[in-house]
Amino acid sequence: MSELPLYVVNLPGSTDRRASMDAQAAALGLSLTFFEAVNGRVRHPLFDHVNATKRQACKGRPFRPGEIGCWASHYLLWQRCVESGRPMIVLEDDVALAPALLDVLGALPLLPEDVGYFRLHAADRPSMPWLRFGDCVLHRYWRSPQCTFGYYLAPAAAARFLRHADEWVVPVDDYMDLGWLHGVQCLGLKPGVMSSGTFDSTIRGDASQKPSVGALGWLTREAYRAWFGLRRSFHNLPARLGQGSAVRG
């Protein structure tokens, strides 16, 4: 794990973000690999994965360019993870790294092999302690923790993500939480070891630019939201019934 690559998703023109990440990494004694993000405003073959009809029904609006670029960037990193046969850390270029990240990296050799993915930030969402490795505790989330500030990824989990990503309908961070679809559990560190930085996102796009969904869009969006909530509840039910069991590890 000492050679675990830390990839930072970064648009070529975002030099201020790159400098910020370099400075933080140097302070922690870490080495970063910058991965060129896909620009959602420039046509890319991976954009053919977008199912515009389902997307419109699910969210009431089309993808914004930044959301598609974000999808493609993470998809390419999942492919790299599988091809390399090695775990990796994936980071956005606008995060604040905590010194405790070093403790997590040092404890990764103790991580059970069946854990192939977890988020490195903590979200204020319902969860329960799931397993311990070293002094680190992973929680299983009952609701989506959202965002892709940073995460650990192993090839087996990356392969599952890829296998079920033929159609892009929801944002990539939401897709990664659909455990009932791809079989990758929604896990995350608590406390987290990184948080959102101070830059406006260039990958996701400006949330203020979301168009109005309209009455029909609202109805179909809420129907999909209820359906996803039901699927999530059934998927989590066995684990929630066993909440009194001891934390693994």
Mean pLDDT of the chain: 90
> Rounded mean pLDDT of 34-52?
97
Structural domain containing residue 218? 6-240
For residue 202, which of 25, 18, 39 has the smallest C-alpha distance?
39
What is the identity of the amino acid at 213? V
Tell me, yes or no, whether 46 lies in a domain.
Answer: yes
Tell me, yes or no, whether 122 lies in a domain.
Answer: yes
Residue 2 is predicted with a pLDDT of: 53
Tell me, yes or no, whether 245 lies in a domain.
Answer: no
> Rounded mean pLDDT of 219-229?
81
Query: CB-based burial of residue 227 (10 Å sphere; 0-12 exposed, 13-18 middle, 19+ buried)?
Result: exposed
Helix-, strand-, coil-residue percentages of the chain, each rounded to 5 = 40, 20, 40
Residue 210 is predicted with a pLDDT of: 59
Tell me, yes or no, whether 247 lies in a domain.
Answer: no
Could you give the maximum distance between any two Cα atoms of the chain, in Å?
53
Per-residue burial over 94-121, b if 16 or more Cβ lie within 10 Å, else e, is bbebbebbeebbeebeebeeebbbbbbb
- Name the residue with tokens 């650990």: 152
Query: Of 28-37, 63-72, 88-97, 191-200, where does mean pLDDT reach its minimum?
Result: 191-200
Share of the chain above pLDDT 90, in %: 73
CATH number at residue 159: 3.90.550
- φ, ψ for residue 242, nearest 5 deg: -105, 25
> Rounded mean pLDDT of 164-182?
96
Tell me, yes or no, whether 167 lies in a domain.
Answer: yes
Q: What is the distance between the alpha carbons of residues 107 and 39, in angstroms, rounded to a whole number?
A: 35
Residue 208 is predicted with a pLDDT of: 46
Tell me, yes or no, whether 179 lies in a domain.
Answer: yes
For residues 34 and 115, the answer to whether their CB atoms sit within 8 Å is: no
Tell me, yes or no, whether 166 lies in a domain.
Answer: yes
Tell me, yes or no, whether 226 lies in a domain.
Answer: yes
For residues 106 and 164, the answer to whether their CB atoms sit within 8 Å is: no
Domain count across the chain = 1
